[in-house]
Amino acid sequence: MRISTNMMFESGSTRLSEMQSSLAKVQDQISTGRRILTPADDPVAAAQALVVSQSKSANEQFAINRQNAAASLSLEESVLQSVTSLLQDVKTLVVQAGNPALDGKQRQFIATELAGIRDEMLSLANSRDGAGNYLFSGFQTNVQPFAQTATGAQYNGDQGQRMAQVGSARKMPVSDTGAAIFESAKTGNGTFVTGANPANTGTGVASTGSIANAAALTGNNYSVTFTTVPGSAPTYAVVNTTTGATLSAATPYVSGETITFDGIQFDIKGSPANGDQFTVRPSGNQSVFTSMTELVNLLNAPVNSPADQARLSMGLAAANNNAGNALDNVLTVRASVGIRLKEMETLDSQGEDVGLQYAQQLEELQGLDYTKAITELSKQKIMLEAAQQSFVKTSNLSLFNFL
């Protein structure tokens, strides 16, 4: 076999290139800290590393989602804390307005202060986040949730609750609607509401009442009508206005004595006039802005007679009840927000642990044994240097040297 000079140079050059490539690969492994630079280095481990890397990226995205969700919930909690303080102020002012020593002018001062609180609460209900989105308008984040009206405020948002994927198997609400916060407070005692006919002329005042027997409740409407005949004790009749049935007729009236029927109990104090009527109806949801507007109107109304004083007393009792129910509703939402924030902290801790596990798995699959790599680097260098020196000597050999 004839070995030409060209073949010898090509063979030597190819071998040196291979060795330089091997040396460069080891250098790249050391610089990156990774054993697998291409899938060809270890196809099985490369495939497993790809799966783990995707899971790790998803876990990191969940962490970002949780961060954004926590910021949104924290902002909502801050707004609701302010709403809570305002509702507590409302209850204080309602109690203050019930002081019999106050005159009409002083009650109007309180009404003015309450109107300011109502406007401030409306502003809080229309709060925005840092991106300019409304907090409490449901899915319609670009729509102002509340618009003031003569009777309170109108809700223009929807019932949507925005969700965020905060874990592989957990979607969490990151918002609450204005309807749920400001329009879901129950009236009365939460089961039924007592009221007085605006045409009453006596001094009777009905209490809020309570449940005597939950199993006997019907959810119907009732009326309690008084009959007062000179020379006779006043009596009252209870009628189920939903069915038209008379539950009791000509029952003697004693101020402060409990009136009980169909699982309902309450009392009426004072001296109702002939024909005065009180009503009982099931509790419903009422906007806090409607309740406050009614309260402002009540305090601005003149009190010129004992009947007016009775209406004021009963109206203030209802307003205090409504404010308390609205406060309880806001506190319930705040508790829900707090629970979600607490869960977010737990998910963050779990996410960090999972992230460490993914990082450890990737290190096991792709990580480089530096001792072994450095030894291999030294070996490759020595081999390359030896090959280069041999090639130099071999390339200088020629038959002409022996002539």
pLDDT one-digit tens code per residue, 278-315: 999 999 999 999 999 999 999 999 999 999 999 999 99
| 165 inside domain | yes
| 19 inside domain | no
| 343 inside domain | yes
If you ran DSSP here, which 8-state letter would residue 34 be given? B
| Cα(310)–Cα(320) distance, integer angstroms | 15
What's the pLDDT tens digit per position in 153-183? 999 999 999 999 998 888 999 999 999 999 9
Neighbours of 310 (CB within 10 A): 24
H or E element at residue 247 = strand 245-252
Q: Which domain holds residue 225?
A: 192-283
Q: Over 70: is that where the pLDDT of 39 sits?
A: no
| 392 inside domain | no
pLDDT band at 50 (very low <50, low <70, confident <90, very high): confident
Measured in whole angstroms, how far is the alpha carbon of residue 257 from the centre of its chain? 45
Q: What is the DSSP string of 324-353?
A: HHHHHHHHHHHHHHHHHHHHHHHHHHHHHH
Let me know: does 385 contact 23? Beta carbons within 8 Å. Answer: no
Contacts 24+ apart (CB under 8 A), 210-216: 210/265, 210/266, 211/263, 211/264, 211/265, 212/260, 212/263, 212/264, 212/265, 213/263, 214/263, 215/263, 216/262, 216/263
179 and 73 belong to one structural domain = yes
Query: In total, how many domains does the chain have?
Result: 2
- Comparing 16 with 258, the larger pLDDT belongs to 258
| Cα(207)–Cα(95) distance, integer angstroms | 16
114 and 261 belong to one structural domain = no
pLDDT band at 3 (very low <50, low <70, confident <90, very high): low
| 316 inside domain | yes
376-402 average pLDDT score:
62
Q: How far is it between the farthest Cα atoms of the chain?
A: 160
Domain stops at, among 264, 283, 302: 283
61 and 74 belong to one structural domain = yes
Q: At CA 136, angle to CA 130 and CA 141, rounded to 5?
A: 60
Query: pTM of this prediction?
Result: 0.80
| 2 inside domain | no
132 and 46 belong to one structural domain = yes
| 328 inside domain | yes
197 and 183 belong to one structural domain = no
Tokens 């809020």 label which residue? 208
Domain stops at, among 268, 283, 298: 283
Please give the share of the chain, as a percent, with pLDDT higher than 90. 68
82 and 137 belong to one structural domain = yes
58 and 125 belong to one structural domain = yes
**Mean pLDDT of the residues in the chain:** 87
pLDDT band at 222 (very low <50, low <70, confident <90, very high): very high
235 and 204 belong to one structural domain = yes
H or E element at residue 205 = strand 205-206
Could you tell me which of 221, 222, 234, 199 has the C-alpha nearest to residue 311?
Answer: 199
| 268 inside domain | yes
79 and 137 belong to one structural domain = yes
314 and 339 belong to one structural domain = yes
CA dihedral 6, 7, 9, 11 (to 10 degrees): 160
Look up the CATH number of the domain holding residue 75: 1.20.1330.10
Let me know: does 134 contact 146? Beta carbons within 8 Å. Answer: no
Region of 328 (left: φ > 0; alpha: ψ -120 to 50; beta: rest) is alpha
Let me know: does 319 contact 187? Beta carbons within 8 Å. Answer: no
199 and 151 belong to one structural domain = no
Domain stops at, among 283, 304, 319: 283
Let me know: does 58 contact 358? Beta carbons within 8 Å. Answer: no
271 and 331 belong to one structural domain = no
The per-residue pLDDT for 355 is 87
What's the pLDDT tens digit per position in 315-329? 999 999 999 999 999
Let me know: does 89 contact 117? Beta carbons within 8 Å. Answer: yes
